[in-house]
């Protein structure tokens, strides 16, 4: 959990000046604010060429104080600490990125679930791809519209769930330009796990030869789209309009990271 001063500083970064009550509506608001104000980023991992410090104090300093963003093992851990400090029943879960692939990926993502009065919800602010901009109820095969996007949770077996997104071709914010279809973005398991179970996964995901270590990847949701950055290429989606800007030179790239994501490398 976070002390009162850190809760206040974290909430201020999310645009809130008072501690909200632990309700579904406020959870939705916190998730959306997090996704639009704190970027998913591997810049620090790539430039330092080392795995991140997963101590809660270190994550708070990096994400809230320094504004450098982070990846799932940092962002979802910190957000969980905020939620529990606000009175939510939140805990981590094992998850894997899918993004429409046919083959199986290893467990490579720290997800999170929150228990509310009416059931269990996925609450994710650290997935570097399409994710619900609010809490998604783990209710089998129910279409849930969240901030203009449609998602479906599907129970698979045991405690495993698929998080599917209904993509919508040319108007799809995440640029999956195919006819309307259902695509699995993420899988998660609701079986209990502990915080101590994740450092080894983070270490594996931050090794040389991995996406997070070898590339600079940044994503941030906006009010009408998203901003993405990878290795000097900036993508800005505003409604149905998309711009791709190739940035030449370290100075231009650092300026774009500061201007569009608030990151000072």
Q: Is 109 a catalytic residue?
A: yes
Residue 163 CB partners (closer than 8 Å, separation 6+): 122, 131, 132, 136, 151, 152, 153, 184, 185, 186, 187, 188
Helix crossing, 72-85 with 24-37: angle to 10°? 140
Tell me how far apart the alpha carbons of residues 147 and 4 are, in angstroms, rounded to a whole number. Answer: 30
Tell me how far apart the alpha carbons of residues 243 and 220 are, in angstroms, rounded to a whole number. Answer: 15
Backbone angles phi and psi of 156, in degrees to 5: -100, -75
User: Helix, strand, coil: what percent of the chain each, to 5?
Assistant: 30, 30, 40
Catalytic residue among 34, 46, 109, 260: 109
Catalytic residue among 28, 124, 164, 172: 124
Give the largest Cα separation in the chain, rounded.
Answer: 52
Q: Is 175 a catalytic residue?
A: no
27 and 114 Cβ atoms separated by less than 8 Å: yes
Distance in Å from the first CA to the final CA of the chain:
28
Nearest-5° Cα angle at 257, 99 to 223: 60
Backbone angles phi and psi of 176, in degrees to 5: -85, 85
Token output for 224:
């009408």
Catalytic residue among 72, 164, 172, 205: 72
Q: Is 176 a catalytic residue?
A: no
- The catalytic site residues sit at 72, 109, 124
């Amino acid at each position: 959990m976070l002390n009162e001063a850190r809760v206040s500083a974290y909430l201020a970064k999310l645009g809130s000046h008072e501690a909200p009550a632990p309700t579904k509506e406020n959870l939705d608001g916190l998730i959306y604010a997090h996704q639009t104000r704190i970027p998913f980023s591997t810049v620090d991992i790539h430039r330092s060429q080392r795995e991140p410090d997963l101590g809660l104090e270190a994550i708070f300093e990096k994400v809230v104080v320094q504004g450098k963003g982070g990846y799932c093992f940092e962002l979802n851990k910190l957000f969980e600490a905020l939620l529990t400090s606000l009175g939510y029943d939140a805990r981590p879960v094992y998850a894997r990125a899918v993004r429409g692939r046919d083959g199986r990926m290893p467990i490579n993502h720290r997800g999170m679930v929150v228990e509310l009065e009416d059931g269990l919800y996925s609450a994710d602010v650290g997935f570097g791809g399409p994710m619900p901009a609010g809490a998604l109820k783990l209710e089998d095969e129910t279409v849930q519209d969240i901030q203009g996007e449609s998602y479906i949770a599907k129970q698979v077996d045991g405690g495993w769930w698929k998080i599917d997104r209904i993509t919508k071709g040319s108007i799809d914010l995440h640029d999956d330009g195919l006819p309307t279809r259902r695509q699995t973005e993420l899988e998660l398991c609701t079986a209990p796990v502990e915080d101590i179970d994740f450092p080894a996964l983070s270490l594996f995901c931050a090794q040389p030869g991995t996406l997070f270590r070898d590339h600079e990847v940044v994503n941030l949701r906006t009010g009408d789209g998203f901003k993405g950055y990878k290795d000097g290429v900036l993508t800005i989606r505003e409604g149905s309009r998309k711009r791709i800007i190739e940035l030449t030179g370290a100075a231009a790239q650092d300026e774009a990271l500061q201007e569009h994501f608030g990151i000072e490398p």
